[in-house]
Amino acid sequence: MNLLVIGGGGREHAIAESIARSPRVSKVYCAPGNAGTAKVAENVPLSEGNLAALVAFAKEKKIDLTIVGPEAPLCEGIVDLFQAEGLRIFGPSKAAARIEGDKAYAKKLMKLAHVPTAEARIFHHHDQAYDYVSTRDTGVVVKAAGLAAGKGVIVCQDPAEALLALDRIMIDRDFGDAGNTVIVEEILKGPELSVHALVDGRTIYVLDSAQDHKALGEADTGPNTGGMGTYSPAPIATDEVLAMVERDVLVPIVDAMRQDDAPYRGVLYAGLMLTPAGPKVLEFNCRFGDPETQVLLARLESDLLDLIEATIDGKLAEADVRWNKNPAVCVVMASGGYPGIYHKGKQIQGLAEADAMSDVHVYHAGTKITGDQVMTNGGRVLGVTGLGPDIAAAKARAYQAVDMISFEDAYVRRDIADKAINETTA
């Protein structure tokens, strides 16, 4: 089979590497890819947003299956376009992808389906949102309703911070059109958990758990990022918790989407807060998380292609999902200044040495090849992933590999997975 992976980040490198191991795959293309995907696939200089060109490429190369990594093309309707041309593709339709692309829609659907989530108000006008926040006497979360690359959520500890956040989103347009509508909601308390499920329209198959570290700084301080590291499985994701998530979150939202003429096929990602009242939804995503994919696929022993095709064909009930029992920890190496202003084009050293380590995967995100050198080309540069017999060993392995790699102004959180280690040793 000839496969096309759309996207150029760490998630797409992990997908391309995993899919290339399938005995049924003869050729993998990645558009646009990065320096890491170039090792397992042929990179194609096509933007993930150029949907027409991607359709034309898939037809020209007789692509048997396309896998979409990022959310933007899904929300733009790439699945609908490919299917209209008779091309096989993995991901939700444009209507179903609204669960991520429009947080206001997701919030309304959750309320309709009685899915537990934070109490919230939706505003389309700055002055109305400003008046509402001005009446509050506690902190709130202010969210841009559209796509903002994981950075459009601002946790405000008091109303004054929230007013500034509203200005940033709706007046200064820090997140562009994503800020046309905002959601103001209560601050939930508790540990966060990422749950991914494969959904084939009706059947839901919950994958192993993961936990992301969104904040830039150690001890979860500083601004939100696209993710600074993650680990899998998460000790807080007990069988009881996952059963509650499936029963109270995934089943009702999938049913509500089907009733809303948006049947879901693909990966459904629930970002959750485990509150004293039980799991509550922070957000839904319409694709694999990044960097959660890096730890999940590092541990997946089943053939990813088989699982994807079972999802497309409505045969998830027959799927066989097997996991490496060893935990995995992914540490993101970022460019200094991320998620704000940062510089590209820094030479990366030590990649070959880290790649040669056992139980290590160096997933590329913001990288490119210039001549015979690998250079930085984004905010999140690498997702260095280690496996071990327990979380502490996996963390140690990941940081051993991190310390073999260097580039100018590299930034790394040093406390990835400490929460899990503390939970398992308490």
Which CATH number fits the domain that encloses residue 389?
A: 3.90.600.10
Examine residue 175 and state whether it is found in any structural domain, yes or no: yes
Residues 225 and 313 in one domain: yes
State the angle between helix axes of 10-20 and 304-312 in degrees (0 to 180), rounded to the nearest 10: 100
Contact 43, 322 (CB under 8 A): no
Residues 141 and 74 in one domain: no
Residue 67: CA count within 13 A, CB half-sphere: 30
Residues 202 and 301 in one domain: yes
If one counts the domains in the chain, the total is: 4
Examine residue 102 and state whether it is found in any structural domain, yes or no: no
0.75 exceeded by pTM: yes
Domain finish residue from 253, 285, 318 = 318
Examine residue 27 and state whether it is found in any structural domain, yes or no: yes
Examine residue 104 and state whether it is found in any structural domain, yes or no: no
Residues 208 and 314 in one domain: yes
Query: For residue 310, which amino acid is it?
Result: A
- Closest CA relative to residue 95, chosen from 256, 314, 205, 331: 256
The DSSP code for 348 is: P
- Distance CA(102)–CA(139), nearest Å, equals 23
CATH number for 263: 3.30.470.20
Q: According to the model, what pLDDT value does residue 324 have?
A: 97
Residues 142 and 227 in one domain: no
Q: According to the model, what pLDDT value does residue 426 have?
A: 56
- Distance CA(152)–CA(145), nearest Å, equals 8
Examine residue 79 and state whether it is found in any structural domain, yes or no: yes
Residue-wise pLDDT tens digits, 302-360: 999 999 999 999 999 999 899 999 999 999 999 999 999 999 999 999 999 999 999 99
Residues 257 and 223 in one domain: yes
Q: Is 80 exposed, middle or buried (0-12, 13-18, 19+ CB in 10 A)?
A: middle
Measured on CA atoms in the order 386, 391, 397, 403, is the torsion positive or negative? positive
- Distance CA(387)–CA(295), nearest Å, equals 9
The residue ranges of DSSP E strands in 49-115, in sequence order, are: 65-68, 89-90
Examine residue 113 and state whether it is found in any structural domain, yes or no: no
Domain finish residue from 138, 159, 185 = 185
CATH number for 136: 3.30.1490.20
- Distance CA(390)–CA(400), nearest Å, equals 15
CATH number for 15: 3.40.50.20
Q: What are the tokens at 202?
A: 């009706």
Contact 166, 130 (CB under 8 A): yes
Residues 76 and 171 in one domain: no
Question: Which stretches of the chain drop beneath a pLDDT of 50?
Answer: none
* Beta pairing, strands 140-144 & 367-370: unpaired
- Residues pairing with 184 in the sheet: 121, 142
Measure Cα distances from 44 to 58, 81, 256 in Å. Answer: 11, 19, 38
Examine residue 103 and state whether it is found in any structural domain, yes or no: no
Contact 387, 328 (CB under 8 A): yes
Contact 287, 70 (CB under 8 A): yes
Residue-wise pLDDT tens digits, 370-422: 999 999 999 999 999 999 999 999 999 999 999 999 999 999 999 999 999 98
Measured on CA atoms in the order 192, 196, 201, 203, is the torsion positive or negative? negative
Domain that holds residue 159: 120-185
Domain finish residue from 274, 298, 318 = 318
